[in-house]
Amino acid sequence: MKQLKNLSKVSIFPLLFLFILSCGKKTPDNPTTTPPPSGSDADLKSLPKDNGGVQTAVYLNSNIPYGYFVYTPSGYTSNQANYPLLIFLHGLGEVGNSMTNPGDLNRLLAHGPPELISKKQWSPRYPMIVVSPQTTVSDFDATKVNSFITYIVNHYHINTHRIYLTGLSLGGNGTYNYVYNYPDGYVAAAIPLSAAYDKQLDYTKFKDTPFWTFCGGSDSPLHALTLTTSLINQTSNAVKAKLTVYPGVGHDCWDITYTGSGMGSEDKNYDPFNMSIYDWMFQYSK
pLDDT tens-place string over residues 239-259: 899 999 999 999 999 999 999
Name the average pLDDT for the chain: 88
Listed residue (73, 84, 71, 68) closest to 153, CA to CA? 84
Q: Is the pLDDT of residue 202 over 60?
A: yes
C-alpha dist (Å) from residue 68 to 96, 135, 138: 11, 9, 16
50 and 72 Cβ atoms separated by less than 8 Å: no
| Alpha-carbon gap, residue 281 to 190, rounded angstroms | 8
- Tell me the pLDDT band of 24, cut-offs 50, 70 and 90: very low
Q: Which of 46-50, 195-199, 229-233 is predicted least confidently? A: 195-199
**Between 24 and 202, where is the model more confident?**
202
Q: Is the pLDDT of residue 77 over 90?
A: no
β-bridge partners, 69 = 57, 132
Q: Which of 10-19, 112-121, 139-148, 228-237 is predicted least confidently? A: 10-19
- Tell me the pLDDT band of 69, cut-offs 50, 70 and 90: very high
- Tell me the pLDDT band of 38, cut-offs 50, 70 and 90: low
- Tell me the pLDDT band of 1, cut-offs 50, 70 and 90: low
Q: Is the pLDDT of residue 11 over 60?
A: no
| Alpha-carbon gap, residue 60 to 58, rounded angstroms | 7
157 and 182 Cβ atoms separated by less than 8 Å: no
Kindly give the pairing relationship between strand 129-134 and strand 212-216. Answer: unpaired
Q: Compute CA 134 distance to the chain's CA centroid, rounded to the nearest angstrom.
A: 13
| Alpha-carbon gap, residue 163 to 177, rounded angstroms | 16
| Alpha-carbon gap, residue 107 to 115, rounded angstroms | 10
Which pLDDT belongs to residue 22? Answer: 41
Q: What is the mean pLDDT of residues 218-233?
A: 93
User: Beta-carbon neighbour count of residue 167 at 10 Å?
Assistant: 29
Kindly give the pairing relationship between strand 54-58 and strand 67-72. Answer: antiparallel
User: Which SS3 state, helix, strand or coil, does residue 33 take?
Assistant: coil
- Tell me the pLDDT band of 285, cut-offs 50, 70 and 90: very high
Which pLDDT belongs to residue 140? Answer: 97
Q: Is the pLDDT of residue 14 over 50?
A: no
Which pLDDT belongs to residue 37? Answer: 63
| Alpha-carbon gap, residue 64 to 147, rounded angstroms | 9
- Tell me the pLDDT band of 36, cut-offs 50, 70 and 90: confident
Which pLDDT belongs to residue 21? Answer: 41
User: Which SS3 state, helix, strand or coil, does residue 189 take?
Assistant: strand
Backbone φ, ψ for residue 247 (5° rounding):
-65, 135
